Amino acid sequence: MILYIPKSNITIEIEHPNSYHLTSELNIENISQINNNQVITLTGNNRVSSKLFLTKTATFKTIQDGNLAFITNINDDNLETIDKILITEKIITFINKT
């Protein structure tokens, strides 16, 4: 069975404690503070699926390459800097080809 999910426009408002970190590929439209909480409004147009992560520690890194933002939480402490760059470039090249 193949499910068809039509593209949709998404708007989400999330309130979370300041001690948590929010990561998503959606666009941040607004950030405000209410007491010890943070309120974030996220939006996205023509989306089929969207992922959102709320963590106690900031485990995600964003690598920006032109119009593409590569978000990862892969632990790469054992890799040399040049290896990280080469791997990231290969992934971005692959994504841009598809």
pLDDT at residue 3 above 90?
no
pTM attached to this predicted model: 0.69
pLDDT at residue 29 above 90?
yes
pLDDT at residue 12 above 80?
yes
pLDDT for 25: 86
pLDDT at residue 17 above 90?
yes
- Locate the DSSP E strands across the chain: 8-17, 21-24, 27-34, 37-47, 52-55, 61-65, 68-72
Region label for 52, one of left (φ > 0), alpha (ψ between -120 and 50) or beta (otherwise): beta
Distance, first Cα to last Cα, the chain: 25
pLDDT at residue 15 above 80?
yes
61-70 residue pLDDT tens: 877 777 777 7
Q: What angle do CA 69, 73, 74 make, to 5 degrees?
A: 110
